[in-house]
């Protein structure tokens, strides 16, 4: 029986599930909104995968994303890795000559620098909402624009208008002001696209030397106005991969495949019925620094299996 390898990327806004074969061909893919029930959503997507690939044997499972610890435990994942590693793995496979990866998701953004096929440097922004897909969604709704049409409308703008992009509050206030001065929706959307890219460059690049080949992925990569703004910023073509929205899931599936083959051990995958364990969730405020993050703890059978909510990784990186 042919083996397939599952990759799950559990983000705060969306959940991606893929299955690949030994040659990294994508046999199954799904992209669904995370509405606050990640275990139930993953279970449902796995059922769909099983229905579409009933004759395939699961060779390995990998999980990445902000909810990776919990879902990794629930599924019995063979590999649980951060999003930087997962995204870079898939991008290097599809675009071996890549040097710079721009990734913008629903609630965070990432910059990954590649040198000779390995990660040389990276930066993440998990704090500023003005540089994320959720911010664009909100502003599109406020303007009565479908997010799918955002990019095309923005590129029809006849004039340039600068929107403040360092903060969501300032950006929204500036947009309202520009509307009152008579700028069109298209011009405001174009200005917003450039503001998001400026925010990205200010928060993540910070003087780093960026080199082509440039690859742009994550859900926001579907927005052609954002892509255009990146191209104007770096003065070079920016590539959007075919599977731009599920690259993290593909990458972690590839990593799981290689890990299982390297160790020679059978997969730890618990099966398509998935664990029916009851989970206990508690919170506490970390006082280690002025951020005072609210830390979420998830327990199964009295054991802490996942921690999240910390900006610095003090707790989330300590749980394996």
The confidence score (pLDDT) of residue 281 equals 79
Q: What fold is seen in the domain 96-240?
A: Nucleotidyltransferase; domain 5 (3.30.420)
Phi, psi of 90 (to 5 degrees): -70, -45
| CATH of span 1-95+243-275 | 3.30.420.40
Query: How far apart (Å, rounded) are the C-alpha atoms in residues 74 and 270?
Result: 8
Token pair, residue 191, equals 């200005």
Task: Print the SS3 string covering the chain.
Answer: CCEEEEEEEECCCEEEEEEECCCCCEEEEEEEECCCCHHHHHHHHHHHHHHHCCCCEEEEEEEECCCHHHHHHHHCCCEECCHHHHHHHHHHHHCCCCCEEEEECCCCEEEEEEECCEEEEEEEECCCHHHCHHHHHHHHHHCCCCHHHHHHHHCCCCCCCCCCCCCHHHHHHHHHHHHHCCCCHHHHHHHHHHHHHHHHHHHHHCCCCCCCCEEEECHHHHCHHHHHHHHHHHCCCEECCCCCCCHHHHHHHHHHHHHHHHHCCCCCCCCCCCCCCCEEEEEEECCCCCCCCEEEEEEECCEEEEEECCCCCCCHHHCC
Q: Give the mean pLDDT per block of 10 residues along the chain (320 residues).
A: 93 92 96 86 92 94 89 91 95 98 89 96 74 79 85 89 71 78 87 88 89 95 94 96 96 97 94 73 87 82 78 70
Closest CA to 246 of 257, 238, 254: 254
Q: Does 1-95+243-275 match 96-240 in CATH topology?
A: yes
Looking at residue 308, its pLDDT comes to 76
Q: Name the token pair of 306.
A: 């996942």
Q: Where are the domains of the chain?
A: 1-95+243-275, 96-240, 278-319
Tell me how far apart the alpha carbons of residues 267 and 145 are, in angstroms, rounded to a whole number.
46
Q: Nearest 5°: CA angle at 55, between 52 and 57?
A: 105
Whole-prediction pTM: 0.86
Backbone angles phi, psi at 42, to 5 degrees: -60, -40
**Whole-number pLDDT of residue 299:** 81
């Amino acid at each position: 029986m042919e083996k397939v390898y599952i990759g799950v990327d559990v983000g705060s806004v969306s959940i991606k599930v893929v299955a690949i074969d030994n040659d990294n061909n994508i046999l199954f893919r799904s992209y669904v909104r995370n509405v606050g029930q990640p275990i139930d959503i993953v279970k449902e997507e796995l059922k769909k995968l099983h229905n579409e690939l009933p004759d395939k044997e699961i060779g390995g499972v990998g999980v990445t994303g902000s909810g990776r610890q919990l879902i990794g435990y629930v599924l019995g994942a063979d590999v649980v890795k951060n999003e930087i590693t997962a995204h870079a793995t898939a991008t290097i496979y599809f675009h071996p000559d890549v040097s710079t990866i721009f990734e913008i998701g629903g609630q965070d953004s990432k910059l990954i620098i590649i040198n000779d096929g390995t990660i040389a440097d990276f930066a993440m922004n998990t704090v500023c909402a003005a540089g994320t897909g959720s911010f664009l969604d909100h502003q599109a709704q406020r303007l009565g624009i479908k997010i799918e049409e955002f990019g095309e409308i923005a590129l029809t703008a006849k004039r340039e208008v600068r929107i403040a992009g360092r903060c969501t509050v300032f950006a929204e206030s500036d947009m309202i002001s520009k509307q009152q001065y008579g700028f069109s929706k298209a011009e405001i959307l174009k200005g917003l696209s450039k503001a998001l890219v400026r925010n990205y460059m200010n928060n993540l690049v910070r003087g780093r030397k960026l080199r082509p080949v440039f690859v742009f992925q994550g859900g926001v990569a579907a927005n052609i106005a954002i892509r255009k703004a990146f191209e104007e910023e770096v003065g070079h073509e920016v590539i959007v991969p075919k599977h731009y929205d599920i690259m993290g899931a593909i990458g972690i599936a590839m990593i799981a495949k290689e890990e299982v083959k390297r160790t020679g051990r059978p997969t730890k995958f618990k099966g398509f019925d998935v664990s029916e364990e009851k989970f206990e969730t508690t919170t506490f405020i970390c006082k280690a620094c002025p951020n005072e993050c609210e830390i979420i703890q998830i327990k199964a059978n009295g054991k802490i299996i996942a921690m999240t909510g910390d900006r610095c990784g003090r707790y989330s990186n300590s749980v394996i």
